[in-house]
Amino acid sequence: MNESRPASPRGDAPDAVALWASARVTELVDGHASVPRYGSTAWQQLPGNDPKKGAAVIVAAEMWRRYGDEDELLAWFRDAHRARGSIGSRKTIAELNALAKPAPPRPVQAATGWPPVAIPGRPGWYRHLIDGRQVDVQRTEQAA
């Protein structure tokens, strides 16, 4: 917590919140005492008015603000370090390129209970479902 100029999450300027938190912790413990982890046995055994107790709360809040949930962070580390399959079992560049190609366009179809569908490339034309048939109608015309 005792960083001289913590970077902001964007990395372009000092992080004002981190500076404030660091100053409060330093003020509370006068820079000489170690702060127990929030919620730990050592923290619970401190008297309620001990400044280290308040400093631990600020440190925990600042860690949460910066890094989020500790369990989620640890799960991310475990996943990042888990063994991966062999390189031979991975998809080839050709397979990845084939998967990246867009799917062919689906035909425009009107559906029962839905309004008419605008037909791409034909301004003013709409597809209606009339008596189970797909019927294209220009906006100025009335569907039969």
Q: What is the pLDDT of residue 72?
A: 79
Residue 25 lies in a domain: yes
Q: pLDDT at position 88, please?
A: 84
Q: Domain range spanning residue 27?
A: 16-80
Position 2 scores a pLDDT of 46
Query: Is residue 21 included in any domain, yes or no?
Result: yes
pLDDT digits (tens, 9 = 90+) for 108-122: 999 998 999 999 989
pLDDT at res. 6:
53
Within-domain flag for 90: no
Tell whether 30 is covered by a domain: yes
Read off the tokens for 57.
Answer: 């709360």
Contact 129, 112 (CB under 8 A): yes
Tell me which amino acid residue 68 is.
Answer: G
Number of domains in the chain: 1
Q: Tell me if 2 is assigned to some domain.
A: no
- pTM score, whole prediction: 0.43
Residue 3 above 60 pLDDT? no
Which residue is associated with the tokens 């998809």? 91
Report if residue 138 sits inside a domain.
no
- How far apart CA 58 and CA 64 sit, in angstroms, is 10
**Cross-strand bridge partners of residue 29:** none
- The answer on pLDDT for 133 being more than 90 is yes
pLDDT at 1: 47
Decide: 105 and 92 in contact? Cβ < 8 Å.
Answer: no
13-26 mean pLDDT: 87
Sign for the CA dihedral angle at 8, 14, 16, 21 comes to positive
d(CA 135, CA 126): 8
What gap in Å lies between CA 23 and CA 26, rounded to an integer? Answer: 5
Q: Please answer whether residues 39 and 19 qualify as being in contact, where contact means their C-beta atoms are separated by less than 8 angstroms.
A: no
pLDDT computed for residue 135 by the predictor:
93
CA distances from 60 to 7, 56, 119 (A): 18, 6, 57
With respect to residue 36, please indicate whether it lies within any of the assigned structural domains.
yes
Handedness of CA 68, 38, 36, 28 (dihedral sign): positive
Residue 106 lies in a domain: no
The string of pLDDT tens digits covering residues 45-102 is 999 999 999 999 999 998 888 878 778 778 888 888 888 888 888 899 999 999 999 9
Cβ atoms < 10 Å from Cβ of 101? 7
Indicate the residue type of 63: M
| Predicted pLDDT at 79 | 87
